[in-house]
A and B are shown apart, each in its own frame.
Chain A
Amino acid sequence: MGRQKVNFMQVKVKIQEKIEKVEFNGETTEDLLKKMNINTESVLIKRNGKFVPVEDKIKNMDEIEVINIVSSG
Chain B
Amino acid sequence: MKCYSCGNPAVIYRKYEGRAWCKKHFSRQLESKIKATIKKDKLVEKGDKICVALSGGKDSCLTLYLMDKFFGKRPDINVFALSIDEGIKGYRDESIKKARKLCKKLNIPFHLYSFKEEFGKTMDEILKNKEARACTYCGVFRRYILNKKSRELGATRLATGHNLDDEIQSIFINNLKGDTNRLMRLGAKPVAVKKDFVNRIKPLRYIPEKETTLYAMLNGIEFHDSRCPNAEDSVRFDVRKFLNDMEEKYPGTKHIIICHFDTILPALRKYFADKGSVGVCPKCGEPTSRALCKVCELLENL
Contacts and interface: CB of A to CB of B under 8 A. Distances in A.
Interface residues of A, number: 18
A41 B16 CA distance: 12
B218 to A, nearest CB: 7
Interface string A35-73: 000011110100000111111100000000001011111
A42 B227 CA distance: 14
Contact of B240 (A44, A52, A71, A73): A71
Interface in B197-251: 208-210, 213-214, 217-218, 223-228, 231, 240-241, 244-245, 247-248
A40 to B, nearest CB: 6
A43 B209 CA distance: 10
B208 to A, nearest CB: 8
Contacts of A53: 1, 10-13, 20
Contacts of A52: 1, 9-11
A39 to B, nearest CB: 5
A56 B1 CA distance: 6
B68 interface: no
Nearest to A43: B210
A39 B60 contact: no
Interface of B: 1, 9-13, 20, 23, 55, 57-60, 161, 165-166, 208-210, 213-214, 217-218, 223-228, 231, 240-241, 244-245, 247-248
A70 B13 contact: no
Contact of B214 (A42, A51, A70, A72): A51
B248 A44 contact: no
Nearest to A39: B244
B248 A51 contact: no
A63 B188 CA distance: 41
B209 A69 contact: yes
13 contacts: A39-B244, A41-B208, A41-B247, A42-B244, A44-B214, A51-B218, A52-B11, A53-B1, A70-B57, A71-B240, A72-B55, A72-B161, A73-B57
Nearest to A33: B248
A53 B217 CA distance: 15
A72 B1 contact: no
B104 to A, nearest CB: 20
Contacts of A69: 209-210, 213
Given A39-B245, A44-B210, A53-B12, A70 B1 contact: no
B213 A44 contact: yes
A51 B217 contact: yes
Given A39-B244, A39-B245, A69-B209, 12 more contacts: A42-B210, A44-B210, A50-B9, A50-B11, A52-B9, A52-B11, A54-B13, A55-B13, A69-B210, A70-B225, A70-B226, A71-B166
A18 B161 CA distance: 30
Nearest to B208: A41
B248 A73 contact: no
A52 B217 CA distance: 13
Contact of B58 (A39, A55, A72): A72
B209 A71 contact: yes
B192 to A, nearest CB: 28
A70 B247 CA distance: 17
Give the interface centre of A39, A52, A72 by most chain B CB atoms within 10 Å: A72
B146 to A, nearest CB: 14
B20 A44 contact: no
